[in-house]
Structure 1
Amino acid sequence: MRLLIMGPPGAGKGTQAAVIGEHYGIPAISTGNIFRLAITNRTKLGERIKRIIAEGGYVPDSLTLKVVVERLEEDDAKDGWLLDGFPRTLRQVTALDSELEAHGFHLDAVVSLTADEEAIIQRMLKRAEIENRPDDNEETIRNRMEVYHEQTDPLLDVYRERGLLIELDGMGAVEEVSQRVLAALADRLGR
């Protein structure tokens, strides 16, 4: 099973990805977590990523693709995975399509969480305070929202046209959203 989870920053993708991964026994692979680990470990890649994120930008396609492909080649991902945070651009969709085709795989579904933007901004500011994430200030968050809409919204149309998109309300209690997500996936995948 190969799945994607999408939605604007702060929509709860990471939380729901973990629920889906556990439910289906597949790794939930977050590019954001991979990037944060590189930053924490102060790798050369981590330092570069840190500068980009601090400015509210997205990591370039070439770097992101390299990190994702390496991760998908690990043993725990051989029977399936859920990607959180990739693809974010049309170029990344093409790269992922090529990677899947090269291995004889296909996407099974794309979950897209929708949410009220102002509510998300408040959620992210609270998370930044709790988790001590200096990259999550209001200006940076608003910039990331704008970049998301410009670069990632068009991907939803691609996956909608392919019949893969499952759009769900990402607002509400975590358990409520999880129930909606798992019910929609069960309906789509038959399990």
Structure 2
Amino acid sequence: MRLILLGPPGAGKGTQAARLVQKYGIPQLSTGDMLRAAVAAGTPIGLKARDVMESGGLVSDEIVVGIIADRIGEPDARNGFILDGFPRTVKQAEALDAMLAAKGLKLDAAIELTVDAGKLVDRIVNRAAEARAAGQPVRKDDDPDVFKSRLAAYEHDTAAVTPVYRRLGLLRGVDGMAPIDAVTAAIDAVLKDVAAASAS
């Protein structure tokens, strides 16, 4: 099962990815983690990434896709993977598709956790207030202003990726505002449909 999880920050992608990892025994691939691991391991593409990062530059799409290509060649990704936080742009979606095609692979589904942006901001504001009331530090990502700017960046770039997967017939929407267990059940239903369709 090769999946992409789409949805704005705070939609619950991390929670659902962790459940999919447990259920299907496939790795969740975070580009940030893979980048750090490739740099630490000193792989050819990791060294390229390190040079860019040390000069203060942004790692190119080509390098990121190269790191994903290396990672999905590892034994634990043989039965599939979950990409979370990538692709973020149409160009990245096209590069990912070309890389997978070159390996004779394709995505099974792109699952979008759909949310109400206004309610999502309320959820984060409440979470920050609860943390303060409990005397806990507020996570940087839960600062309402930081969150709003991340949401705006998502809507500007990543929301453009959704139509790409809709055109390819891979996009499946799931209500991300539902309770966590209901979201998990909806994703399970989607994946059963996908498996049945690919078996027929």
* 1:14/1:30 contact within 8 Å kept: no
Pairing 1:171–2:174 present: no
CA–CA distance in structure 2, aligned partners of residues 35 and 181 of structure 1 = 28
* 1:6/1:13 contact within 8 Å kept: yes
Q: TM-score if structure 1 supplies the norm length?
A: 0.78
Deviations 1:65-95 (Å, cap 9, x if unpaired)? 3543343232211221111111110111111
CA–CA distance in structure 2, aligned partners of residues 36 and 148 of structure 1 = 23
What residue in structure 1 maps to residue 121 of structure 2?
121
Greater shift, 137-146 or 25-34, is seen at 25-34
Q: What SS does structure 2 have at the residue aligned with 1:99? A: helix
What residue in structure 2 maps to residue 8 of structure 1?
8
What residue in structure 1 maps to residue 71 of structure 2?
71
5+ residue gaps, structure 2, are 39-48
What residue in structure 2 maps to residue 83 of structure 1?
83
Q: CA deviation at 1:37?
A: 8.3
Q: CA deviation at 1:35?
A: 6.8
2:113 corresponds to which letter in structure 1?
Answer: L
CA–CA distance in structure 2, aligned partners of residues 60 and 124 of structure 1 = 31
Indicate how the Cα distance of structure 1 residues 110 and 127 shifts in structure 2: closer, same or farther if over 3 A, else same: farther
State the structure with bigger RCO (CA 8 A, min sep 6), 1 or 2.
1
CA–CA distance in structure 2, aligned partners of residues 21 and 165 of structure 1 = 20
What residue in structure 1 maps to residue 107 of structure 2?
107
CA–CA distance in structure 1, aligned partners of residues 119 and 11 of structure 2 = 9
| CA RMSD, 1 decimal | 3.2
CA–CA distance in structure 2, aligned partners of residues 32 and 172 of structure 1 = 28
Q: What SS does structure 2 have at the residue aligned with 1:142? A: helix
CA–CA distance in structure 2, aligned partners of residues 175 and 36 of structure 1 = 32
What residue in structure 2 maps to residue 41 of structure 1?
none
CA–CA distance in structure 1, aligned partners of residues 13 and 83 of structure 2 = 10
Deviations 1:118-143 (Å, cap 9, x if unpaired)? 33234445279568532442222111
CA–CA distance in structure 2, aligned partners of residues 144 and 18 of structure 1 = 22
* Aligned mate of 2:151, from 145, 152, 164: 145
Q: TM-score if structure 2 supplies the norm length?
A: 0.75
Indicate how the Cα distance of structure 1 residues 80 and 127 shifts in structure 2: closer, same or farther if over 3 A, else same: farther
1:108 corresponds to which letter in structure 2?
Answer: D
CA–CA distance in structure 2, aligned partners of residues 59 and 146 of structure 1 = 22
Q: CA deviation at 1:36?
A: 8.6
Q: What SS does structure 2 have at the residue aligned with 1:10? A: coil
Q: CA deviation at 1:106?
A: 0.5
Provide the aligned length of Structure 1 versus Structure 2.
178
Indicate how the Cα distance of structure 1 residues 135 and 148 shifts in structure 2: closer, same or farther if over 3 A, else same: same
* 2:140/2:146 contact within 8 Å kept: no
Q: What SS does structure 2 have at the residue aligned with 1:189? A: helix
1:84 corresponds to which letter in structure 2?
Answer: D
What residue in structure 2 maps to residue 55 of structure 1?
none
Greater shift, 138-147 or 116-125, is seen at 116-125
Greater shift, 60-69 or 78-87, is seen at 60-69
Greater shift, 161-170 or 59-68, is seen at 59-68
User: How many percent of aligned residue pairs carry the same amino acid?
Assistant: 40
